[in-house]
Structure 1
């Protein structure tokens, strides 16, 4: 949590690369609604402030990362090479 005086409170969800995924405004929510939201997003709540966080939650995202479609391998009868982005190394 980062407190910013004068700013409306919002929950900012970041990816594992620290890229912004989503912003959720919190100003119209009660404490109970915010607690429910955080729980629904999959955050782990410790029993006490000094309790350890289970290993499976230490690097866990609030939501699963979007899965990218796997590139399709060319078929044996295909004569055209797979398309590449400009500047992409042919070995990648």
Structure 2
């Protein structure tokens, strides 16, 4: 009796076990908790960034393009996106360690933060005070 698996099923099993879990990187905004969201900051430690290349690329290359999004260095801190209200009250923390640069950019844009063409570019008036907006509600009476 042979306990060896044929090569194809073995490869599929190994691939399934080695695949990274993406459920931890999926974040869906709870707009009820995020009412009043006006700014955000990424809190992280420089040492942590050195081992997280995707997050480091976002922090060093992308943050300067976003209005009302800043970086705060905290020794020993894992990278987190901290969502803040008008009075700088903390609304929510989102871990970034498992996310790719593309996922972080998509999240920040989904939250409604304005990405400027250049770091020193002007911001349109509708984005000056409230970069985040809930998704557009569809109405049955939109044509009235």
Q: Name the TM tier (shorter chain).
A: 0.5 to 0.7
Which 4+ residue blocks in structure 1 deviate beyond 6 angstroms?
Answer: none
Backbone CA RMSD of aligned residues: 1.3
Count of matched residue positions in the alignment of Structure 1 and Structure 2: 64
| 3-state SS of paired residue (1:47) | coil
Q: Considering fraction of residues, name the structure with more helix.
A: 2
| 3-state SS of paired residue (1:36) | helix
Larger Rg computed on CA atoms: 1
Correspondence for 1:7 among 77, 81, 85: 77
Correspondence for 2:127 among 40, 57, 61: 57
Unpaired runs of 5+ residues, structure 1, are 65-92
Report if the CA contact (8 A) 1:46-1:53 is conserved. Answer: yes
Report if the CA contact (8 A) 1:16-1:61 is conserved. Answer: no
Does 1:39 find its partner at 2:103?
Answer: no
TM-score by length of 2: 0.42
1:3: Cα distance to partner? 1.9
Match of 1:20 in 2: 90
1:22: Cα distance to partner? 0.6
Distance of aligned partners of 1:13 and 1:20 in 2 relative to their CA distance in 1, 3 Å threshold: same
Unpaired runs of 5+ residues, structure 2, are 1-70, 135-144
Greater RCO between the two (CA within 8 Å, min separation 6)? 2
